Amino acid sequence: MTPLVERLSKVDIDPLLAEDSHSWLHTEINTIFRQIPDLEHVRVRSRGEGIHKYHGAGNRLVTEHTGGFETEGVGDLRDVTAASRLYSESAPLLRIEFLLEGRGEEPVRLEFGFNRATLRETVGRAMGGIIRAITLFSFLGVGALCIAFGVTVWAAGRVRDLEKRVRELYRYATAAELMAGLVHDLRNPLASFRANLASLRIMPEEQDDIIEEMDRDLVRLDEKLGSMLDLTRKRDEPLKEVDLKALLAEVARLAEPVLARNGLGLDCRSRVKGKVAIMMDSVRDALLNLVINSAESGQKDGIVELEVWREDGRLVFEIRDRGCGLPEDLDIFAPFVTTKSTGHGLGLAISKRTIEAHGGTVTAKNREGGGAVLRLVLPGRDISRGAAL
C-alpha cells in the first residue's frame, strides 16, 4: 500500500485519473481489496474529485465517482483512535481516515472502511495485542498502518495454534494501554498535591485543612493505581467454599455508603442452598463494582436489586436498577469508558476481567421500563458433591 500513499502525496485526483479504470489509482486500490478480506470500502477524495470503491451484491467490487470532500469533518475517524473505536462504536463499518498533503497545498483524504463484525471475530483475542501494534505503527505513517492490518489478517489464521501465547500478549498489551491512560489520569491529583504542599509552606496556620486535602489526593492516587493493578494482575486466587447469602450480605455492607449517599437501598436475594466453590474475593469485588455502578446510575430513590440463582448448572448473579439506562453505542466494560463525570472508568473493566478469569461471562442491557440489568454467569460447584452443577 505504500506506493498508493506515496503517489497520492504527489498528485491531484483529477477527472481523467478517477474515470480511467485502468489507471494506477484503480489498480492499487483493487490490489488492496484482494489483500485485506475485512476491507469493505475505500474512498479517495480531493476537494474537487474523488472515487469510492466498495463490495456490492455478490461481493462484486463497485466503483463510483464522487465529488470532493467537505471542509467540515464527519466525526473522529483518526487512525490513533481506531483501537478504542473498534469496540466502543456499534456502526457496521470501522472507518479510518488519513489526511495527506497531496501536491502543493491540495489535500487528499484517504478513507478505509473495515467490516467491524468480521474484524472482531477473525482477530478475536489476538486483537487486543495486535491493535496496540497497529496504533504504534500508525505513528510511523499510513503505509505502516496498512501493513499492520495485513499482519492482523495473517495472525488471525494462526490464532488457534497461538491462543495460549496470545492471551499473555493481550494481558501485557492491556497493561501498556492502561499505563498510558493512567499517566494522564494521575496528573490532576499530583498537581493538586504539589499545590497544597506549596500552600502549606506559605500558610502554616491552615495546615489542618491543607493536610486533609493532601490526604484526599493521596487516596485518589492509591485508588487509581490499585485499579490498574486489579485490571492487569493474574487471576490465580484459589477457590473457596462460600455461602452466597453471606457473600451478598458482605457486598451490601461494602456498598452501603454509596447507596446511602444516593438515597437508595439494596435488596439481596439468594435462591441457592448450600455452599459453592468460587474465587470469593474476586467475585465479591466484581459484584461490588457492579452494585456501585447501579447506585450511581441516576436512580432517584427506591432499591437496587441483587439476586443469585442456579441455571443450567451455573450461577447467575443479576443486578437491576432504575437509573438512566445504558447508551446503545457504548461498551461500558472497556477500560477508561465511563458515563459519569467522575471516576476513571476502570471499575466495570475490572469486573469483566474478573468474571472471565473465573470462567464466566458478564453482560449488560437496558431494562424494560427504564434502568439497566447487569448479569454475571459463573461456573457453580456444589461443595457437597465436589463437582460442577
Residues 377 and 336 in one domain: yes
Q: What is the pLDDT of residue 281?
A: 85
Q: Last residue of some domain: 116, 134, 160?
A: 160
pLDDT band for 222, please (50, 70, 90 cuts).
low
Residues 188 and 144 in one domain: no
Question: How many distinct structural domains can be found in the chain?
Answer: 3
| Cβ neighbourhood burial of 123 (10 Å; 0-12, 13-18, 19+) | buried
Structural domain range at position 79 = 2-160
Residues 276 and 326 in one domain: yes
Residue range 352-358: mean pLDDT, rounded: 74
Residues 253 and 214 in one domain: no
Residues 84 and 192 in one domain: no
Average pLDDT value for the chain: 71
Quick one: cell of 170? 493481550
Considering only residues 352 and 214, tell me which one the structure prediction assigns the higher pLDDT.
352
Q: Which residues pair with 309 in a beta bridge?
A: 316
Whole-angstrom distance, CA of residue 375 vs CA of residue 361: 8
> C-alpha distances in angstroms, 76 versus 82, 89, 275, 350?
9, 11, 50, 27
pLDDT band for 207, please (50, 70, 90 cuts).
confident
Q: By three-state DSSP, how is residue 1 classified?
A: coil
Which residues, 6 or more positions from 186, have their beta carbon under 8 angstroms from its beta carbon? 221, 224, 225
Specify the CATH number for the domain of residue 321: 3.30.565.10
* Best CA proximity match to 337, nearest among 82, 84, 75, 91: 84
Which residues, 6 or more positions from 190, have their beta carbon under 8 angstroms from its beta carbon? 217, 221
Residues 314 and 173 in one domain: no
Per-residue pLDDT tens digits for 237-264: 778 899 999 999 999 999 998 999 999 9
Which residues, 6 or more positions from 111, have their beta carbon under 8 angstroms from its beta carbon? 41, 42, 43, 44, 45, 77, 95, 96, 97, 98
CB 111 within 8 A of CB 97: yes
Residues 203 and 325 in one domain: no
CB 233 within 8 A of CB 175: no
Q: What is the pLDDT of residue 264?
A: 94
| Cβ neighbourhood burial of 179 (10 Å; 0-12, 13-18, 19+) | exposed
Considering only residues 208 and 313, tell me which one the structure prediction assigns the higher pLDDT.
313
Residue range 36-49: mean pLDDT, rounded: 78
Handedness of CA 176, 180, 182, 183 (dihedral sign): positive
Quick one: cell of 32? 488492496
Q: Is the pTM of this model over 0.85?
A: no
Whole-angstrom distance, CA of residue 123 vs CA of residue 154: 10
pLDDT band for 127, please (50, 70, 90 cuts).
very low
Residues 209 and 265 in one domain: no
Q: What is the pLDDT of residue 282?
A: 82
> C-alpha distances in angstroms, 265 versus 243, 292, 306, 340, 368?
22, 11, 11, 20, 20
Residues 171 and 206 in one domain: yes
Residues 178 and 226 in one domain: yes
Q: Last residue of some domain: 120, 140, 160?
A: 160
Whole-angstrom distance, CA of residue 123 vs CA of residue 137: 18
Residues 355 and 221 in one domain: no
Per-residue pLDDT tens digits for 128-167: 444 454 444 444 444 544 544 454 454 444 444 444 444 4
Residues 147 and 8 in one domain: yes
Q: Last residue of some domain: 232, 260, 280?
A: 232
Residue range 270-282: mean pLDDT, rounded: 88
Per-residue pLDDT for 327 more than 60? yes
Considering only residues 360 and 331, tell me which one the structure prediction assigns the higher pLDDT.
360
Considering only residues 38 and 383, tell me which one the structure prediction assigns the higher pLDDT.
38
CB 350 within 8 A of CB 286: yes
CB 241 within 8 A of CB 277: yes
Q: What is the pLDDT of residue 163?
A: 46
> C-alpha distances in angstroms, 270 versus 203, 226, 258?
55, 30, 22
